A and B are shown apart, each in its own frame.
Chain A
Amino acid sequence: MPAHPIDFDIQANLFSTPEGLAIFDEKNRFQGWLDFEAALAAAQGELGLIPPEAASAIQAKASIEHLDLEAVRLDYTTNRNSLVPIVKALRQACGPYGDYVHHGATTQDAIDTGQALQLKAVFALVQRDLRQIEDRLLKLAAEHRQLPMIGRTHSQQAIPISLGLKFAVWLQEINRHGDRLQALTSRALTGQLGGAVGTMAALGPHGREVATLTMTKLGLKASIAPWHTARDTSAETGSFFAMLTSSAAKIANEIFQLGKTEVMELREPAPAGKSAGSSTMPHKRNPVLCQRIVVLSSHVRALAQVLMEAMLHENERDPRALWSEWLAMPQSCIYTLTALDYLKSVLFDLEIFPERMLANLHLQQDAIASEWLMFTLSPVIGKTRAHAKISQCLDLASSCGRSVREILVNDQELSDCLQHVDLTLLDHPETYIGLAPQIVDDVIRQINQKRNG
């Protein structure tokens, strides 16, 4: 009976992906803890701290299928420790060697290390998705480096840009997230082995060697000092996902806005069936994925806040903070992976309507060339005078429904100034895209250099 939309069975993968669910699946979570126990025993065996037979037995049995999960389930109904029922079942499975299980470690050592293993898997998927999105945007930016459309500020038409420039700005943002992930990876994929209050007291004099070896076996970094109460990397991970999904939401919202009926310059691709429309309005095709991305990002931002608050640990360990992290981190990861998955679908088959772009760009006719006019007149009458004069002409043009050109040529002062000026641009404002194509080229070149270098 899945009650959380993450786990919905019938409307499956609405706010999740199969990959994300697999990482945070309960049994996989337990398996991470068991992997920790196995690596710990192996390290302790190699260093001669526990008998080699014990180390081998623990490694052989530290797998979810060797445990009596019914017993574990029952145990959890009375035992309030998060790890003990699992450790108990492992001990049981290891028979005479059971005493050597979880030797010198504390509950949080196993659980934090398990979470680091989950994050490692998540980061690999995020990196893959970022790369694919970047690839797609590289292609889109190059293809449309010169395709004119109107730029908008304050939700009002401003002056032309190229669609490629819009893509290039997204591309840079995504690329920066790649850099952030790399930096984060170097900090966040660190295991935990410190014992009850981080002193390694029960791990014996070779505790530090045990920790290093254990983490090497798990493919994680060993932490020099315990981080039971230092949750900055968890909070950083949450914040990174918040930023990443917010960028995704920015892109999704832009496509949503540019796909409004009256605008219709970009459109989210249609689904394979015809399920995205309305149950009661047969003509409708809704940008469903774009909206889902926005929803997901809003939750990931809220979860980042929770992860930030979980930094306020007290003393040497503080479950009030830790447990809120346990609840927030899986959601944050699953939603992020889902948002990226949706964004890939949207971008891979994005519909682009160059004709509507051109038509919208000409909506205000030659008024859209006001900046060009101002800079054409500025050398002659000064920029301030030009701004004021053009504003007047624009008002006149719109109030009497004439073109700006007509007003200009009938204005004594301006017609003199413009006598030798080529006014073709007034008919073709779409050519006023500045250095947009060159900026696109620079962005593409820079990213390619980064990839090759």
Chain B
Amino acid sequence: MTHCCPASHIIDSRFFADGYGTDEARQVFCDYRRMQRWLDVEATLAQCQAELGIIPSQAAAAMIKTAKLELLDISAIKADIAKTGHSLIPLLKEWQRVTEKSAGQFIHYGATTQDIQDTAQSLELKDVTAIVQRDLAAIISLLARLADSNRDLVTIGRSHGQHALPTTMGLKMAGWLDETLRNSTRLEACRERLLVAQLFGGVGTMAALSEQGLPLLDSFAKNLGLAAPPSCWHSSRDRIAEFTGILALITGGLARIANEICQLARNEIGELTEPFIFGQIGSTTMPHKKNPELCEQVVVLARLVKANAGTSLDTLCNEHERDYRAVRLEWVALTEASIFSCAALRLMKSILGGLSINKSRIKENLDRFAVLISTEALMFLLGEKIGKQSAHTLIYEASMGNSGPNQAELLDRLMACPEINRSFCREDLEQAIDPKRHTGLSGAIIDRVLSETKKSVQPPHFQNSVCPSRLTGICGCA
């Protein structure tokens, strides 16, 4: 077999990666970028230590000068990781090799491996949360527009998979919007807890970080644009578990929207259709098929994120002061959950951006079943004279006869009841079941949700930096 640069995880597939991730998100987690981030974190540490007089400033300057992945021998690092089984030391050794001799001894001064890797992970999360928040904002504005423009589009509401009562398409979409707003708020609250530095040494005591450990932590965190936590979190992973949990909530919410579109796109219903481009092939063997594949993919991604969120909860049960069984699990779960989520968000932007709303099918479905869907109104009308319970019974009996509902037939049957005939004329009943009259306070509820969007979170600025591999061409398969 010829040697190649393997891309066996679907996230990295050269053919299918777009369905499972975005280039932007993959850039955040790229392994060259990760190595560079570790160097960045180490360099920042050195700089802060120099500022506090913990290490000589010339040493820090020399270290900062060489803290660039393109100056290092990547294959030597790889070989050394294989040999030592250590994730950080080979990088540091190689960095030390190219750094002025007198400065080299101050590399990684007083920190523990996990300090560097956790801090770098927080930087990854800073980027990811910015992407997610930006896309949520885009989805929120798409949904707000949809809810507003479909405010008066009367459609059938369904429960237990059965036609229930009239509602408006706008209200359905306002429900999606409200949930998305909540998720955006959740993420913002989580960001405050999540984006923290780690610099506490081997068992969280700062023993090797000098007496100035605490001010050092503050300036280290500040320089990296992170917060300084009160105590170490080497074995306290609630922040990450919370974040993956929120990603599961976000993608779960998107999956609800996607599934609803899928269901309403069934041929028998035909009310909504995801964007379908001519040339796209639904089936190899059935030329008539148009499959809601974008929506289906969102559901797939949400399931995968949910699984990773569950796995992340396993990291909470840490032992003693550090426990790599938890951290190494995050490396997979967090990466996957983040990249899958970014893919789901991007898909949902295109789905909502190009959603077709088939007004004539919506009306057709509504009219076809008009009589059944407004039985609640009929019950209240009849109830005024004959009591709500007797009205319920009469309507139930009149409705149960056949599987295909028929307005005239039901009204005939009801008018044939002497109790009803005595107090109502047929027109009263007909008016009572006009669906347009039974959308309740939909409009006002939509307005309430729309006014919430004005308070929604402003996404933080985000611009992905260029991957070190792109700068130097060290990545053979770029």
23 A-B residue contacts at CB 8 Å?
A154-B282, A155-B262, A155-B265, A155-B292, A156-B290, A260-B158, A260-B161, A260-B162, A260-B266, A261-B158, A261-B162, A261-B369, A262-B268, A263-B266, A277-B396, A282-B375, A283-B372, A283-B373, A283-B399, A283-B405, A287-B160, A356-B403, A364-B267
- CB of B287 within 8 A of CB of A374, answer yes
Given known pairs A364-B288, A391-B287, the reply for A287 and B282 (CB within 8 Å) is no
B268: A residues at CB distance < 8 A:
260, 262-263, 360, 363
A265 to B284, CA, bound (A): 27
* B322 interface hit (Cβ, 8 Å): no
Residues of chain B having any CB pair with chain A under 8 Å: 156, 158-165, 262-263, 265-269, 278, 282-293, 296, 365, 369, 372-373, 375-376, 378-379, 391-393, 395-396, 399-400, 403-405
Known: A154-B289, A261-B372, A267-B403. 15 other contacts (CB 8 A): A153-B289, A155-B265, A156-B265, A158-B283, A262-B365, A264-B403, A264-B404, A278-B164, A282-B379, A287-B161, A356-B403, A360-B267, A371-B286, A373-B287, A390-B288
Rounded to whole angstroms, the CA-CA distance of A367 and B267 in the bound complex is 12
| B293: nearest chain-A partner, CB-CB | A154
* A4 CB within 8 Å of chain B: no
**Does A281 sit at the interface, judged by CB under 8 A?**
yes
Given contacts A284-B160, A374-B285, contact A153 B291 (CB under 8 A): yes
CB distance from B278 to the nearest CB of A (A): 7
| Cα–Cα distance between A370 and B282 once the two chains are bound (Å) | 12
B165: chain A residues within 8 A (beta carbon): 281
Partner of A256, one of B156, B161, B290, B400: B161
Residue from the set A156, A262, A288, A387 with the largest chain B CB neighbour count within 10 Å? A262
Residues of A within 8 A of B159 (CB): 278, 284, 286
Contacts of B391 in A (CB 8 A): 282
Interface pair A367/B375, CB less than 8 Å apart: no
* A428 CA / B394 CA spacing, docked (Å): 41
> In the complex, are the beta carbons of B160 and A257 less than 8 A apart?
no
Nearest A residue to B380 via CB reads A280
* Shortest beta-carbon distance from A343 to chain B in Å: 18
Count of A residues near B, CB < 8 Å? Answer: 46
When C-beta atoms are compared, the residue in chain B nearest to A374 turns out to be: B287
How far is B193's CA from A64's CA once the two chains are assembled, in angstroms? 56
A: which residues have CB within 8 A of B?
152-159, 256-257, 259-264, 267, 274, 277-278, 280-288, 291, 353, 356, 360, 363-364, 367-368, 370-371, 373-374, 387, 390-391, 394-395
Across the A-B interface, the 4 shortest Cβ-Cβ residue pairs:
A154-B291, A286-B160, A282-B395, A370-B288
* Cβ contact within 8 Å between A282 and B267: no
Residues B266 and A262 in contact, CB atoms below 8 Å apart:
yes
**Complex CA–CA separation, A261 to B160 (angstroms):** 10
Who on chain A is nearest to B373 by CB?
Answer: A283
Considering only CB atoms, which chain A residue lies closest to B296 in the complex?
A154
Q: Which of A155, A260, A261 has the most CB of B within 10 A?
A: A261
Residues of B near A367 (CB, < 8 A) are 288
Find the B residue at minimum CB distance from A360.
B268
How far apart are the CA atoms of A396 and B379 in the complex, in Å? 46
Alpha-carbon distance A156/B269, docked complex (angstroms): 10
Decide if A283 touches B266 in the complex (CB within 8 Å): no
Interchain CA distance A387-B286 in the complex, whole Å: 8
Given the known inter-chain contacts A155-B266, A156-B267, A157-B267, please indicate yes or no for A281 contacting B164, CB distance below 8 A. yes
| A261–B158 alpha-carbon span in the complex (Å) | 9
Question: By the criterion CB–CB under 8 Å, are B160 and A154 in contact?
Answer: no
Q: Is the CB of A283 within 8 A of B290?
A: no
Q: How far is the CA of A157 from the CA of B292 in the complex (A)?
A: 12
What residues of chain A lie closer than 8 Å to B392, measured between beta carbons?
A: 282
Give the residues in chain A near B269, CB-CB below 8 Å: 260, 262
Q: Which residues of A contact B291 (CB under 8 A)?
A: 153-154, 156
Report how far A316 CA is from B156 CA in the complex, Å. 61
Q: How far is the CA of A391 from the CA of B285 in the complex (A)?
A: 11
A6 → B minimal CB distance (Å): 23
